[in-house]
Amino acid sequence: MCLYIFLASVLSAQDVRTSKSGLNFREVALNSACNSFNNQAFMAILDILNYPDPRLYTVAEPVQEVDATIHRLIDDMAETMYAAPGIGLAATQVNVHRQVIVIDTSEDKQNLQVFINPRLLTQCGSQDYEEGCLSVPGVYETVTRAEKITVEALGRDGKPFTLKAEGLLAVCIQHEMDHLLGKVFVDYLSQLKQVRIKNKMKKRQRNHA
């Protein structure tokens, strides 16, 4: 709002040439400045659900339209993932039950990858990787997953793409797709380990309360 008043006073009130949209150039400039200000200034860090919160077991619904609400969710999820810090985040973990994933496994954190409505087309081989999860803080356990995968999804622009992945990226995509199916990596572990992890989380919650 402050920005709007500031720009309104800076842009000349006499400049009333009309654009194609029917707005005058002063209004177009104000709208575009305010949109970009809103997008950048109000990205939020979202609360991440902690295991064994029952909401983590919700199956996510497909996204029907990649609109401004989904863009806002993606931006907030990316902000939340980078702040955590983590290399991936599924919408389920922030209690939004839509098929949206963000991932950045790059060193410099400049390669955000967005997967909307992801589908696994092919998988082959197997690899063991010591996984972590932002919903299970402080727990790292080895999980066996496919070594190479091909995934199809929509990007942030709503356009379909196909990606071949291996190594950490393949692990991360599979881990995040499990979240969308209501599955947490702890579910792959023995009953004894699951009980121990649940007790550790309860203790952690008591100490952080």
C-beta of 66 vs 180, nearer to Zn ion: 180
Is 27 considered catalytic here?
Answer: no
Q: Quick one: which of 73, 68, 84 has its CA closest to 115?
A: 73
The first and second tokens of residue 23, run together, are 């707005």
User: Is the Cβ of residue 24 or residue 194 nearer to ligand K1U in the bound state?
Assistant: 194
Chain residues 123-152 in contact with Zn ion, contact rule CB under 5 A: 133
Report how far apart, in Å, the C-alpha atoms of 199 and of each of 58, 133, 175, 193, 203 are. Answer: 22, 16, 23, 10, 6
Q: Point out which residues bind ligand K1U (CB under 6 A).
A: 85-90, 129, 131-135, 171-172, 175-176
Instruction: Decide whether 26 or 115 has the Cβ nearer to ligand K1U.
Output: 115
DSSP state of 91: G
Q: How many residues bind Zn ion (CB under 5 A)?
A: 1
Query: How near is the Cβ of 53 to ligand K1U at its closest, in Å?
Result: 13
Which partner from the list ligand K1U, Zn ion, none does 177 bind, CB cut-off 5 to 8 Å by kind? none
**Both structure tokens of 90:** 């599924």
Distance in Å from the first CA to the final CA of the chain? 37
d(Cα 17, Cα 42) in Å, to the nearest integer?
A: 31
In the list Zn ion, ligand K1U, none, the entry touching 86 (Cβ below 5 to 8 angstroms by class) is: ligand K1U
- Minimum CB separation of residue 185 from Zn ion in Å reads 6
Task: Name the minimum Å distance from CB 160 to Zn ion.
Answer: 25
Q: Under the criterion CB under 5 A, does residue 201 sit at the interface with Zn ion?
A: no
Neighbours of 196 (CB within 10 A): 13
Amino acid, res. 85 = P
Q: What angle do CA 67, 27, 36 make, to 5 degrees?
A: 40
Q: Is 49 in the site for Zn ion (CB under 5 A)?
A: no
Q: Which is nearer to ligand K1U, 172 or 197 (CB)?
A: 172
Q: Name the residues annotated as catalytic.
A: 176
Can you give the binding site for Zn ion, defined by CB under 5 A? 133
